[in-house]
Structure 1
Amino acid sequence: MALILHGTVGSPATFRALAALYEKDLHVDFVPVSLANKENKSPHFLSLNPFGQVPVFEHGDLKLFESRAITKYVAEAFADKGTSLVFKDPMKSAIQTVWMEVEAQKFDPASSKLGWELFFKPLFGMTTDEAVVAEFEKKLEPVLDVYEQRLAESKYLGGDSFTLADLHHLPNTYLLMGTKVKSLFDARPHVSAWVSDILSRPAWTKVAVMRPN
């Protein structure tokens, strides 16, 4: 059965799903969705995702939205392919899940806001709100402090190997590396080494070349 991903080039959520598919060495038919033309609000797209957001993943009769749900399915459904992105041991899996939740609940809110202000607004010819940037830098710093402590004890956030806990960070981290917020990561040596590691993965490199300039 064909694997189909409906998404938008440059969308962090779309890139998160693609990264998981490429880590698994899977062929995926990518269907571009134009947000500018409101293709995500078309009746057909809304039949796939009633919230009208990208990405949407199809595998036979299965239709999934929400990028983290997609990556989890891909990791589990294709466990024998490519990189093992999840732990089978229940205790290791539980720890991995903790850091997946940390990404979604702690890292993503601040990093997404910073990515919008510092990357996407300039891309769209809009003016960055420096007050908002300062506010969310302060929110990101304590999260990175916790990461620095964790990564001093473990090579990756989820454990001793690269997993979804790390992969989920890739899109926003990549965008922020081209902004002044990079200094927050660089100031923490273990975080900086981890960032260099995960951003250099071949699967992510394949995704990153799609990024709009």
Structure 2
Amino acid sequence: MVVKIHGMAMSTCTQRVATALREKNVPFEIVPIDFAKGQHKGPEHLKIQPFGQVPVMEDDGFFLFESRAIVRYIANKYKDQGTRLIPTDLKGAALVEQWASVEVADFDPYASAIVFEKVFKGMFGLGEADESKVKELRSKLDAKLDVYEKILSTRSYLAGEEVSFADLFHLPYGSLLTPAGHGDAITSRPNVKAWFDRLSARQSWKETQAAAQQ
């Protein structure tokens, strides 16, 4: 049975999952959820995602929500095919989880909030960006990325020399910093830029981006 992803191809969290599925060479289809019609808050969707969000994975009758949890499930279930997104050794796997936690705590809160203020507010008619808030968010993001810059001076990816799901987690919002007018948060740091360029060049991400534009 083909894995189904209930969501939107342009959704950042759906893209996180779609990229991992492509890395693992897992066939899947996106079951579109129409936000404009409020389908994400409708009774059918709430049965599988009680918070009314996307994406939700459906795998042979098993439903799972939260994009990062879905990616972990995919990485473990299909560990022997495609790109190995999590090391087989205990210490390597722990380092990946360490950096996955860093993404949640020290990257996403600032990058996603900047994108919300500078991109999504205008896209969804939610008013003007709060520039004072953006300035504060950018300052905090810069401090975090300064640490990334030091770490990435010693390795190709966050947890070592092999790409992991912790790296891929950064792609959706990291890629939107440029249209948000803050791409220099990444490009002004040579090691961070080289790392993000490697991630952005992956075929899985290119295909995910192309699907989002259809």
Structure 2 match to 1:178: 179
Structure 1 match to 2:3: 3
Superposition CA RMSD, Å: 1.4
Q: Deviations over 1:86-132 (max 9, x none)?
A: 01110111111100000011101001101111222233344222112
The answer to whether the 8 A contact 1:115-1:176 is kept is yes
Structure 1 match to 2:136: 135
Structure 2 match to 1:195: 196
Structure 1 match to 2:209: 208
The answer to whether the 8 A contact 2:114-2:180 is kept is no
Cα distance between partner residues in 1 of 2:50 and 2:3: 20
Deviation at 1:81, TM superposition (A): 1.6
Cα distance between partner residues in 1 of 2:191 and 2:199: 12
Structure 2 match to 1:93: 93
Cα distance between partner residues in 2 of 1:68 and 1:113: 18
Greater displacement, 123-132 / 203-212:
123-132
The answer to whether the 8 A contact 2:152-2:192 is kept is yes
Cα distance between partner residues in 2 of 1:11 and 1:192: 24
Q: How many residues align?
A: 213
- % of aligned pairs identical? 38
Q: Which runs of 4+ in 1 moved over 6 A?
A: none
- Segments of structure 1 that go 5 or more residues without pairing to the other structure are none
Cα distance between partner residues in 1 of 2:89 and 2:38: 43
Matched to 2:114, the amino acid is L
- Segments of structure 2 that go 5 or more residues without pairing to the other structure are none
The answer to whether the 8 A contact 2:118-2:129 is kept is yes
Cα distance between partner residues in 1 of 2:32 and 2:55: 10
TM-score (structure 1 length as normaliser): 0.96
The answer to whether the 8 A contact 2:9-2:30 is kept is no
TM-score (structure 2 length as normaliser): 0.95
Match of 2:191, SS state, is: helix
Matched to 1:105, the amino acid is A
Deviation at 1:212, TM superposition (A): 5.1
Deviation at 1:133, TM superposition (A): 1.0
Structure 1 match to 2:46: 46
